[in-house]
Amino acid sequence: MDHPERPGAPVLAEAIGTALLLAGVVGSGIMAERLSDGNVGLALLTNAIATGGVLFALIVMFGPLSGAHFNPVVTLALTTDGQSPRARVLPFLAAQVVGAILGVWLAHLMFELPILQASAKVRTGLGQWAAEAVATFGLVLLILLGARRQAPALPAAVAAYIVGAYWFTASTSFANPAVTIARSLSDTFAGIAPADAPAFIVAQLVGAALALGAARLLAPAGRK
């Protein structure tokens, strides 16, 4: 999947892709809340569908350039699994975090909100942390096994999983440290209080580590 046109293209692809992903997540959350007339379920449904659609398009767009990770735990998992070059780890992680923050700011700009803000939305507790570990476990396992087999349906599968995970997890499935950091900087429908973000990230790392272990049990490296 990695055939960059020029040096630096994969890192730029990760930055732009993650920025557009967060603009999609936060922007659709703002729009959903404004148009749902207080119906939180409807707002969540539209936010989930919009996120899945944007994610599918971005994976198709940037997959050939960078692998379309858009997620630090995906980068770490694929690198540990030998499916992504180690030299890309730090540039990708930096691009993902910076891109995610820029995407949130872009969403604020589009909806004429203050660019710089912090979320007041509390998301904490054992159920939330367990949900993040489960959401990340499923996502990373799907990507690891799908990437090993170069499954053509993987972009659609990832998008569909995220749409579903919005609903079957108590946390609405952040499953991404860069997304978590960026959403702590948005006091909107998709936000998370900055104080609650570190525990989410720890849970995501745990879920990713468990997914790596499960992938090795299910399909040892080298077996396609």
Secondary structure string (H, E, C) spanning the chain? CCCCCCCCHHHHHHHHHHHHHHHHHHHHHHHHHHHCCCCHHHHHHHHHHHHHHHHHHHHHHHHHHHCCCCCHHHHHHHHHCCCCCHHHHHHHHHHHHHHHHHHHHHHHHHCCCCCCCCCCCCCCCHHHHHHHHHHHHHHHHHHHHHHHCCCCCHHHHHHHHHHHHHHHCCCCCCCCHHHHHHHCCCCCCCCCCHHHHHHHHHHHHHHHHHHHHHHHHHCCCCCC
pLDDT of residue 77: 98
pLDDT of residue 221: 60
pLDDT of residue 4: 43
The domain defined by 9-218 folds into Glycerol uptake facilitator protein (1.20.1080)
Residues (pLDDT < 50) of the chain are 1-4, 223-224
pLDDT of residue 220: 73
Exposed / middle / buried, residue 25 (Cβ in 10 Å: 0-12, 13-18, 19+): buried
pLDDT of residue 5: 59
CB atoms within 10 A of CB 174: 29
The domain spans of the chain are: 9-218
pLDDT of residue 6: 75
The dihedral formed by the CA atoms of 192, 174, 91 and 65, expressed in degrees to the nearest 10: -140
